[in-house]
Amino acid sequence: MNKKGFINKIIIMFLLSIVILNSYPNESYAHANNLTFNNLNIEQGISQSTAEIIFQDSKGYIWIGTSDGLNRYNGYEYKIYNYEEGKNSISNNGITDITEDENGYIWVGTVQGMNRINTETGEIQNYTKENEKIPDDSTSEVIKTQENKIVVATYSGICVYNEEKYAFESVLNTGNGLMSDIVYSLDEDKYGNIWVGTDMGVHKISKDFKILETYGGPKEENSVVQDAVYNMYCDDKYDTVWIGTADSGVFKLNTKTKEVKQYKNDPNDEWSLPSNQIGKVLRDKNDNLWIGTDGGLAYYDEEEEHFHVYRNKIYDKNSLVYDNIKSMIQDKEGIIWIGTYSGVSIFDTESGIKHYKAGPDEDYLLNENMVHGIYEDSDGYLWVGSKLKGISIIDRENHSATSISTENNDIIKSDMINDITGYKDFIFIATDGGILRIDKKTRKMKNYSVEDGLVNEAVKDIMVDDKGYLWAGTINGLSIINIETEEIIDMTKYIDTEKYIKHIYQDNEGNYYLGLLRDEGLCYINVKQKKIKYFSNDKSDKSSISSNRVRYINGDSKGNVWIGTSYGINKFDRKTETFERYTAEDGIANNTIYGVLVDNDDNIWMSTNKGISKLNPETGKIENLSVTDGLQSNEFNGNASFKSDSGELFFGGINGLNTFYPQDINKMDSGTKVLFDGFSIDNKEYNDIEGMKFKSSTDDINIKFFTPIYSSNKNLMYEYKLIGASGEVFTTKNNYVTFSELPPGKYTFEVRVIDTGGNKSEASSVSFKIKPPFWRSPIAILAYIIAAVLFVLKYKYEVKKLDRLVKERTKDLVEEMKKNTILHNKNIKLERNKNSYFVNLSHELRTPLNVMSSTNQLLKGLSGNSIIDGEKLNYYVDISQRNCKRLLNLINNILDSSKLQNDMYQITLKETDVVYLVEETALTLKDYIYSKGIDLIIDPQIEEKMIKCDPYEIERCIINLVGNAVKFTPEGGSITIDIEDLDDKVKISVTDTGCGIDEKFHKAIFDRFSQVEDSEPVKSGSGLGLTITNQIIKLHKGKIYVESELGKGSTFVIILPVNPDI
């Protein structure tokens, strides 16, 4: 390159830098940021998208009149009013206007007459030409005057409501001076005069409907308006009337001086009205004037006398929903509602959150929505970095911006901006191509790279320390730049920091902190102690740092260091070198912390993947903001947070930049209260239930409520309790609760709203009563008292009568007792003899084989020595047969047990009354049990229970259990048999008062040949009885078990299914 070319290039670069840093337009605009609109249309539940009129009533409901129905909106849902032939409904679905009178009635104008809605009862009164209640069905506007008159504009002049006749009467038309019968608009000024807009011009009329002034009509010299007037707006603060026309723009009429000024669209003037067709004029609470046209929304800058226009932008879902504006109001909260041909747009004039974003025209100040790096310099310019398009430099005062990128600057080496900071007259910008330095005084730029000494050009964070050094964290270590000398120090030579450094912070004691992103934790450089320490997460130690991925570090005025990580935020205690964690479990919106800012009150603000969280360290209270509060998105970015010297907070995300002052966030009006939206008692609707009484059979009570806070109703919480029930306090995000099967009593339902800042409103309440059933009513209680008194009197009479009888019978009873005592003693002696007999018999049967063997030996000896006579032979044979039979029973039990063990045993199921079967079986053993001196108690809880079973086998089981109980129950004990119905099962219990069984033998007793030892001599028996019983019960798909303790008796329980086949 020749010398001349080189010089030219230097000159061009110098001029370019001047242009970049100083090219700000001079235009001034009061609204520094774009308006963010939330939009409603048919997808959100409106009956039809063309919002002809919007109105807010005294309760706070928003009414939206469309071309196909009337909508009442509470922020959660729509109640739709439509015409229904022959029913209590509005007269037509084409809504033209809405107002409310002093009694709370809602008046609705339609293309087919007027309607009055009683919101308390739901009754709707129609006023149509057909029912002779109004002269003309074609209504266009309705107002309530200061004298509480309902005045209606129609296509046949003006009508007023006559309360005595329950009808509208014509008061003004062409017959008595009106320039035209077609009246489009009405408004009342502070003096009580009514301004009338017709299809030919304007009249000013008195309270008694006399024409005072005329502006319009036939083309005369004094005619001001010669067009159809769609909207009249009395701007009383300035003694001005704004006249919106069909095709002549808007006229500003000074009612004192009669001066008139016209504002029209000029295609060659971008600051003129966007259209000449005016839909609505509105001055808001902040004294801003808005004009809705069929070409967009115009904000009138009265100082500059020009308009700033907001239109629908297809690429921006938060722009005006449609340009053709039909209606406009500001609600009690300050939100402006705009009705258009294709939906409703809402924006909050009181919102403290501003939103900057990118777009294709000059209204959008960012060059890209993906924000990384934010800094405000000493001149008030806002420097905003992007992911791929360099830097935006914003002059917020003048609502203008310029940019620096590789497209317009050769010095910057990368458009991927990571961080921005400043020092004196320098701006430093960290990019993936090094560090760009801009000297604001000399306009010079320089880029530091690896060639200049940086350890890596991908610089992720920069920080100027208290000594004037610039610390630069890269993906591969740390560099420090002496800003005065531009010397670059490679800190990897001194510190083991060849790591991905995400953030750098210096605390108020001069210590340094390096946030390491790739699971490497926190590096702490203690300057006083001259030591470097690394902190990492220890899963077993809750006082360790919560995550090894550190994203942001900041400190408060008390010296606490706050460390944002990928798993919550940590407060670092420098003395103990421990961490206190706050995570989503504690209420933070999300665990991924991108930015940490500390406001002037030491509250901690965190940007996350689910909005912004605010932590009050003193109270531990956490508040959350989301996209519905005006955030650019719920998702934010790293190194995209900044606090200005004035205390303003900046957070950048994936859809632009938010700015706000903390003190402007979460201020709920002290007068805000929850309103009740309706009640449903067992599906019957009520508008109010205060003081009402409901039947004891009432199942469900549903209570709906809402709060007319439409700016952030999606983030509201409700706190409620039902006094008279538990009184416990609950919270919910729903706007309704349901109580089911409340017992009789008096109840008061209390509810209050909680905003995103945790502020609570006053409680709203409603009381009602659930009546007791008749048997608990006052009349019934009185009857009970009378009956009780009569009973007591009767009782005393009977006691006296019985006292005489007792004395007479006492002597007889004493004699009877003596006789019974003698008889009882005889029975005891008899039972003892029986027990002694059976005990001896059981001992004799214990050894049947020995008896048989002895008998055989005797027979053998007799046959060898002499002839045996028949009688003796029969005697010995009989002995053998009896013992054989006993032995045969024992063998049969053994064989049955073997079959059961090998699944070869078959049972035959049939329908059987198990109660009868058990009782009959037990009764067959009665004498045997009584003979042991044991009581038998058969006490079934049911009289009959049909089941499918093998009656023979069940009988056998009962005999075994009862026989077993007899063996181990001492004299004087008892055996109880119980039967209980278990629906699809039956429970049979055999309980004795015997010696009991140690728990360790509970399972063993069901094994073959088992016998449990106890404190008494071992009872005789083979041990097969319980084994066979257990196996038979299993064949019935039932179960058997024992409940017993030593010395406390035993209970054997059989559980049988009603139908084993199922």
Which of the 8 DSSP states describes residue 663?
A: G
Collapse the DSSP code of 876 into the 3-class scheme (helix H, G, I; strand E, B; otherwise coil) and give the result: helix
Whether residue 960 sits in one domain with residue 941: yes
Q: How far apart are CA 975 and CA 965, in angstroms?
A: 7
Residue 922 lies in a domain: yes
Per-residue burial over 543-552, b if 16 or more Cβ lie within 10 Å, else e, is ebbbbbbbbb
Render pLDDT for 310-335 as a digit per residue (tens, 0 to 9). Answer: 999 998 888 999 999 999 999 998 99
DSSP line for 494-550: TS---S-EEEEEE-TTS-EEEEETTTTEEEEEETTTTEEEEE---TT-TTS-S-S-E
Residue 24 lies in a domain: no
Interhelix angle for 951-968 vs 1024-1035, to 10°? Answer: 150
Residue 936 lies in a domain: yes
Residue 766 lies in a domain: yes
How many alpha carbons lie under 13 Å from residue 905 in its C-beta half-sphere?
A: 22
Q: How far apart are CA 767 and CA 769, in angstroms?
A: 7
Render pLDDT for 518-566 as a digit per residue (tens, 0 to 9). Answer: 889 999 999 999 999 999 999 999 999 999 999 999 999 999 999 999 9
* CATH number of the domain within which 714 lies: 2.60.40.10
* Res. 834: pLDDT tops 90: no
Residue 630 lies in a domain: no
Domain extent, residue 681, equals 675-776
942 φ, ψ (degrees, to nearest 5): -135, 155
Average pLDDT of the residues of the chain: 88
Q: How far apart are CA 276 and CA 293, in angstroms?
A: 7
Closest CA relative to residue 66, chosen from 105, 107, 110: 110
Burial class (CB in 10 A: 0-12, 13-18, 19+), 1053: middle
Render pLDDT for 667-688 as a digit per residue (tens, 0 to 9). Answer: 667 678 999 999 999 999 999 9
- The residue out of 776, 800, 831 marking a domain boundary is 776
Whether residue 1001 sits in one domain with residue 929: yes
* Res. 458: pLDDT tops 90: yes
* Res. 767: pLDDT tops 60: yes
Whether residue 1053 sits in one domain with residue 911: yes
Q: How confident is the model at residue 823 (pLDDT cuts 50, 70, 90)?
A: confident
Task: Tell me if 14 sits within 8 A of 443, measured CB to CB.
Answer: yes
Which residues on adjacent β-strands are paired with residue 515? Answer: 503, 522
Tokens of 699: 């199942």
- The residue out of 291, 322, 352 marking a domain boundary is 352
Instruction: Tell me the percentage of the chain whose pLDDT exceeds 70.
Output: 87
Q: How far apart are CA 291 and CA 245, in angstroms?
A: 12
Number of H helices and number of E strands within the chain? 8, 72
Render pLDDT for 507-521 as a digit per residue (tens, 0 to 9). Answer: 999 999 999 988 899
Tokens of 219: 């083309």
pLDDT for the residue 524: 96
* Res. 1014: pLDDT tops 80: no
pLDDT for the residue 364: 81
Q: How far apart are CA 688 and CA 390, in angstroms?
A: 60
What is the β-pairing status of strands 296-301 and 289-293? Answer: antiparallel
* Res. 710: pLDDT tops 60: yes
Looking only at Cα atoms, what is the longest distance across the chain? 171
Task: Tell me if 1055 sits within 8 A of 1038, measured CB to CB.
Answer: yes
Render pLDDT for 868-877 as a digit per residue (tens, 0 to 9). Answer: 667 767 776 7
* Res. 488: pLDDT tops 70: yes
Whether residue 976 sits in one domain with residue 913: yes
Residue 852 lies in a domain: yes
What is the number of domains present in the chain? 4
Per-residue burial over 380-396, b if 16 or more Cβ lie within 10 Å, else e, is ebbbbbbbebbbbbbbb
User: Lowest mean pLDDT: which of 275-289, 294-308, 491-505, 969-983?
Assistant: 491-505
* Res. 433: pLDDT tops 50: yes
- Element of type H or E holding 564: strand 561-565
7 φ, ψ (degrees, to nearest 5): -65, -40
Render pLDDT for 403-423 as a digit per residue (tens, 0 to 9). Answer: 999 999 999 999 999 999 999
Whether residue 964 sits in one domain with residue 889: no
Whether residue 919 sits in one domain with residue 1012: yes
Residue 333 lies in a domain: yes
Tokens of 462: 């920069």
pLDDT average, residue stretch 133-142: 97
Task: Tell me if 41 sits within 8 A of 50, measured CB to CB.
Answer: no
Residue 744 lies in a domain: yes
* CATH number of the domain within which 1022 lies: 3.30.565.10
Render pLDDT for 941-988 as a digit per residue (tens, 0 to 9). Answer: 999 999 999 999 999 899 889 988 998 899 999 999 999 999 999 999
Whether residue 1017 sits in one domain with residue 984: yes
Whether residue 1034 sits in one domain with residue 923: yes
Interhelix angle for 914-924 vs 951-968, to 10°? Answer: 40
- The residue out of 293, 321, 352 marking a domain boundary is 352
pLDDT for the residue 667: 63
Q: How far apart are CA 327 and CA 337, in angstroms?
A: 8
Q: How far apart are CA 203 and CA 212, in angstroms?
A: 7
Burial class (CB in 10 A: 0-12, 13-18, 19+), 453: middle
pLDDT for the residue 8: 38
* Res. 1017: pLDDT tops 70: no
* Res. 783: pLDDT tops 80: yes
pLDDT for the residue 1008: 54
DSSP line for 580-648: EEE-GGGT-S-S---EEEE-TT--EEEEETTEEEEE-TTT--EEEE-GGGT-S-S-EEEEEEEE-TTS-
Whether residue 999 sits in one domain with residue 876: no
Whether residue 1045 sits in one domain with residue 910: yes
pLDDT average, residue stretch 591-619: 97
Tokens of 394: 């914003």
Whether residue 999 sits in one domain with residue 912: yes
Q: What angle do CA 610, 616, 618 make, to 5 degrees?
A: 150
User: Lowest mean pLDDT: which of 350-354, 537-541, 754-758, 895-899?
Assistant: 895-899
Render pLDDT for 346-367 as a digit per residue (tens, 0 to 9). Answer: 998 877 899 999 988 777 889 9
Tokens of 479: 């560099």
Q: How many residues are present in the chain?
A: 1062
Whether residue 1021 sits in one domain with residue 923: yes
Q: Beta-carbon neighbour count of residue 541 at 10 Å?
A: 10
Q: Which residues are CB-contacts of 96 (< 8 A; sequence separation ≥ 6)?
A: 52, 53, 65, 109, 110, 111, 139, 140, 141, 142
* Res. 217: pLDDT tops 80: no
Which residues on adjacent β-strands are paired with residue 263? Answer: 250
Which residues on adjacent β-strands are paired with residue 162? Answer: 167
